[in-house]
Amino acid sequence: MVAAGDPRAPDTTRPRDRVVFSPFGLAVGDGAISLTTRGDLGLLTATDPGRTAPLGSGTATNDPSDPTLGSNTAFSLWTDRSGYALFSGGGDIVQIPRNLSSTTTAFRLHDPGRFSAVAPAGSIVTQIVLAPSRDGALELFAGGSLFGQASMSSGAASSLATPFQPLWVEGNLVWGNSPAVTNSNGFQIANVWGGAVGFSLFGFAVDAATNLHAGASDPIRAYAFGDVMMQIGSVIQTDPFNNPDLFTLVAAKPVDIRAGRDVLASGFILNNSASDISNVSAGRDLLNTTLKIWGPGLLQVSAGRNIYQALGSRIVRIDQLDSTINSYGPIVAGDRQPGAGILLTAGAGSQGPSYADFAARYLDPRNLADPALPLLNPANAGKVVKTYEAELLTWLRARFGYQGSAADALAYFWSLPIDQQHVFVRMVYFDELKAGGREYTDPTGPRSGSYVRGRAAIAALFPADASGAGSVTLLNSAGIHTERGGDVQVLAPAGGLTIGVEGVVPPWTTGLLTQGEGDIQVFSRDSVLLGLSRVFTTFGGDILIWSELGDINAGRGAKTGLVYTPPRRVYDDYGNVTLSPQTPSSGAGIATLSPIPQVPAGDIDLIAPLGTIDAGEAGIRASGNINLAALQIVNAANIAVQGTTTGLPTVQAPNITAGLASTNATAATQQSAAPKTAANDQPSIIIVEFLGFGGGDRNGDDDKDRRRSQLRPDEPRSQDPSSPVQVIGAGALDQAALDRLTPQERQRLVH
């Protein structure tokens, strides 16, 4: 499934699938099973004893129209404690469902809510969906690679068949699948019973994600020393009979996916709180990976080398694997939290950015530089222009409810999980880059014409001795979007950012785009190139791009003319109203758009200290202010700003006053020197002689024409003997003409 988008050369030494003969089956109830083998371990989907069903019927009904009609009941015996743990000391672990056709529809095979598989010397292949459980856990650890699919459900308890809410199906069961039944939501549940697998776990509603795991700290873990080529989470057809394009999310928790080599996977992820962070990390490359996240928080995507996204698809469907990394916002009705932000980091080296060193420098007030001295003065060595202890206190109180003093805020910060610390460090980092770029173009500032402040921040987070190499490339349909809030951040400290190519018009899924309140912040060592793609904030939000050694090119795509349309109002079942801004369906370039007056204008900061800022044919458009800092700025005519412009060079018009005066004096001299004579006032006489009217040399024909023209009008004109038409009797008849007449004609002529 995932291997179809693998851009790497085939490796015949690394199989992508396993064949298992006579897999082992487990029946789990209110308990847990641990299974250990020295070699390979093959396992079927677990059996729930309460949901097995005999052929025929188990209980007679009271239907008077058919006394022989029977019925069957089913309920799950699983609890929050149910699960099993697998360990293979020297081989692979392969878990396969009993019905491979049930992986994408509303009728799916489930395993207990707790599942752990460890294969330190082999790979793991799964096709597993875990039942909802408050204590649910999904953990996969492989010394080889991870393949297949693994999901954890967070469906509502009211939709499950339990001993206190059993499922009843009327009619005698036969081998195969039962007809669909309609649940309380009006949807049809496909095949609530199958002869080979028993009754469905979700007997009263489809499996749909909820906030069952809100507040849980343990994510879904999928670790491999090799590759991760697995789908985590899934979407299923809600109503496959009447509306096959309607899907529901099967996900429960944040994810932590780590590969020692490459990640070529897909993920359908759910964050439950604003502090949740999902992580997808590749030791080498992240290739053609599709990630879709719901809920607030953050999605971190990183690669030790390259992030290469190039799957091509123009089919817009939520289950499509298209190399997009998108955030869709909350799933709970009435939730006004912004959607998850997205971070991409490529080529940061084996150790990653130096977050700890950066925080130690910029969060300690003792590192504040002496403003009376230049920042590069030896007395200010290791010092910074601004420390962020006040901003740190505000952030801790808003994000974690911190109630301590300002003096203890830094100590509390160091006690947070590392990923949480990194969130605030990146905020400070991009603030320093923006301030450094604006100081360069401020003629009255303390560091006018200098990038020293921004370069100091870069050196602190990405030291010169870091051994990183890698770029971010987004081609075809690949893009990074946040649809209901959330920022987009890109870090490429040892490479560049390429979005789209010239000559190939991409679909609307491409580019960096925030729909809703969200900023776009990009730092790269090399050039930022857009091709025919775009970098847009469409509903408020700023754009910051810093290219340390390269250029910033807005591309050659068509400009987007944003036509005013009122934002779409979305009402849920409880009357909550959400404004959903409309995304431009086409266009390219760099732009901050403000479609309605209530949306604050967005600023643009583009900094290329050693390169060129090229507005290209696509153009740069800012609904707010714009600041440009580079060695050269070209195609400035394609830059449109509604606010204040700084850094854009103005072309001084030449002084034409002296030239105009000289021209006027010369004209006056010529007029005064012209003699006024009467001859000048006489009209001109023009003599024209016509030599001919064209035509060619017709030899004898010209002679005939000349002879004809010389005949006088009163002279009789004889016939041309060479003409094919001869008239007899025109004028006097001689003897030759009479000889040519018949006897009858001569007789009539005489009379």
Q: What is the mean pLDDT of residues 78-91?
A: 94
452-482: string of b/e by CB count within 10 Å (b at 16+)?
A: ebbebbbebbbeeebebbbbbbbbbbbbbbb
- Supply the mean pLDDT for the chain: 82
pLDDT band at 315 (very low <50, low <70, confident <90, very high): low
- Tokens linked to 186: 């009006």
Is 88 strand, coil or helix? strand
Is the pLDDT confidence value at 280 over 50? yes
d(CA 717, CA 711): 8
| Residue whose tokens read 């007395």 | 379
Q: Could you tell me the two tokens for 106?
A: 């509303």
> Lowest-confidence range among 224-233, 456-465, 583-592?
583-592
Cβ distance 299 to 269 under 8 Å?
yes
More confident residue, 88 or 502: 88
User: What percent of the chain has a predicted confidence (pLDDT) above 90?
Assistant: 50
- Tell the residue number behind the tokens 């910033």, with chain if given: 552
Residues 6+ apart with CB under 8 A from 599: 539, 540
Interval 209-225 mean pLDDT = 91
| pLDDT tens for each residue of 720-744 | 665 555 666 656 667 777 777 777 7
Query: Of 1-5, 267-271, 555-559, 721-725, which gets the smallest average pLDDT?
Result: 1-5
Banded pLDDT at 87 (limits 50, 70, 90): very high
205 confidence band (pLDDT: 50, 70, 90): confident
Q: Does 82 or 62 have the greater pLDDT score? A: 82
Mean pLDDT of 429-453: 94
Which of 103-112, 283-292, 573-582 has the largest mean confidence?
A: 283-292
Q: Which long-range contacts (CB under 8 A, 24 or more apart) does 740-746 make?
A: none
As a three-state string, the secondary structure of 286-348 is EECCEEEEECCCEEEEEECCCEEECCCCCCCCCCCCCCEEEECCCCCCCCCCCCCEEEEEECC
Name the residue with higher pLDDT: 696 or 563: 696
Asked if residue 184 has pLDDT above 60, the reply is no
pLDDT at 23 over 90: no
Q: What percent of the chain has pLDDT over 70?
A: 73
CA dist., res. 413 & res. 398, Å (int): 13
Residue 308's DSSP bridge partners are: 287, 473
Evaluate if residue 175 carries a pLDDT over 50: no
pLDDT value for 106: 45
- pLDDT tens digits, one per residue of 574-622: 666 666 655 554 578 999 988 777 788 999 999 999 999 999 888 999 9
